[in-house]
């Protein structure tokens, strides 16, 4: 990804929503470690890091009143929130058609193995590997860090247990094993 594109995306994320910006920074480290553990290298590893950095880029088009809401979202608000993965992919592809793999990783990070995710209801191996990696890292980080609507609820160990309980319905078993293997090496304090 060209440095000018990275700078532009970073500053629009940072100015719109700091919570998402810092969550995305942590995801780069988690995704980098998982991706190496499952054997990605070279350009694929760089793409994994960049997809992690901008997986929630589409949230720049979601009003902050929804992003920062502490109550449960209404159906309409949830619909708007769910648009962020496809919106982010579109923004990335608009910046450069060369960023296809990254855009598809971003688009698919809320897909689930059993087809219950969004936006396309992809199943199993139909979900790009970048999307499957980001999904696991995203849920791990969401469970172990506070969100506007709640405190952090899980220790790293119980977050891993949650992921393991949802292997095959939601998460790629190989990616969850990698998350388990690297969880002590990502250097966050919880």
Distances (CA, A) of 136 to 39, 182, 187: 16, 12, 17
Verify binding: residue 141, Fe ion, rule CB under 5 A: no
Q: How many CA within 13 A on the CB side of residue 58?
A: 24
Stretch that binds Fe ion, among 30-38, 50-58, 72-80, 159-167 (CB under 5 A): 50-58
In degrees, to the nearest 5, what angle opens at C-alpha 127 toward C-alphas 90 and 183? 100
Q: Report the C-alpha gap between 29 and 103 in whole angstroms.
A: 19
User: Quick one: 20 or 177, whose CB is closer to Fe ion?
Assistant: 20
User: Quick one: 56 or 172, whose CB is closer to Fe ion?
Assistant: 56
Verify binding: residue 172, Fe ion, rule CB under 5 A: no
Q: Report the C-alpha gap between 76 and 177 in whole angstroms.
A: 36
Smallest separation, CB 84 to Fe ion (Å):
6
Binding residues for Fe ion restricted to 52-71, rule: CB under 5 A: 56
Residue facing Fe ion at closest CB distance: 56
Residues that bind Fe ion in the complex, under the rule CB under 5 A: 56
């Amino acid at each position: 990804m060209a440095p000018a594109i990275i700078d532009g995306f970073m500053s629009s994320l940072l100015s719109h929503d700091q919570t998402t910006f810092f969550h995305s920074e942590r995801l780069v480290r988690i995704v980098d470690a998982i991706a190496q553990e499952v054997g990605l290298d070279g350009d694929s590893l760089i793409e994994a890091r960049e997809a992690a950095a901008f997986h929630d880029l589409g949230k720049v088009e979601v009003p902050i009143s929804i992003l920062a809401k502490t109550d449960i979202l209404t159906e309409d608000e949830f619909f708007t929130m769910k648009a962020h993965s496809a919106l982010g992919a579109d923004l990335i592809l608009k910046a450069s058609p060369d960023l296809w793999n990254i855009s598809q990783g971003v688009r698919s990070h809320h897909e689930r193995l059993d087809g219950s995710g969004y936006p396309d209801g992809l199943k199993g191996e139909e979900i790009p590997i970048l999307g499957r990696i980001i999904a696991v890292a995203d849920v791990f980080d969401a469970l172990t860090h506070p969100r506007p609507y709640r405190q952090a609820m899980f220790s790293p160990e119980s977050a891993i247990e949650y992921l393991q309980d949802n292997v095959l319905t939601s998460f790629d078993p190989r990616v969850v094993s990698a998350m388990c293997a690297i969880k002590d090496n990502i250097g966050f304090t919880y």
